[in-house]
Amino acid sequence: KAGVTQTPRYLIKTRGQQVTLSCSPISGHRSVSWYQQTPGQGLQFLFEYFSETQRNKGNFPGRFSGRQFSNSRSEMNVSTLELGDSALYLCASSLGSLSYEQYFGPGTRLTVT
């Protein structure tokens, strides 16, 4: 069974731009969660989608948004990029809504210049 895939793997953007990251969960998994990982803050929860609905949200500004499609694939969007948004963005999928084990993708490394 294929694992979680994320595209692109690497991305360089400039301040003020916006970016969209994509995540395809493990087949059969209906929940997708997004995390931001930085050296200083570690892994921080952004939001979780289950059956196309946002079920849980972390403490991030409204510039961070996401959505989930009927095939469970998910996208995350960051608008008006700031230097501090440079991070590894990880997507994790699970069978159910957060109450199950989460399996991570390889991440998208975003660099904002």
Partner 1 sequence: GQQLNQSPQSMFIQEGEDVSMNCTSSSIFNTWLWYKQDPGEGPVLLIALYKAGELTSNGRLTAQFGITRKDSFLNISASIPSDVGIYFCAGRSGSQGNLIFGKGTKLSVKP
| Chain residues in the site for partner 1 (CB under 8 A) | 4, 6, 33, 35, 42-45, 48, 55-56, 58, 90, 92, 97-99, 101-107
Whichever of 3 and 16 has its CB closer to partner 1, that residue is 3
Minimum separation from the CB atom of position 44 to partner 1 (A): 8
End-to-end CA distance of the chain: 37
Q: How far apart are CA 70 and CA 24, in angstroms?
A: 12
Give the nearest distance from C-beta 16 to partner 1 in angstroms: 28
Written as six digits, the tokens of 1 are: 């069974």
SS3 state of residue 61: coil
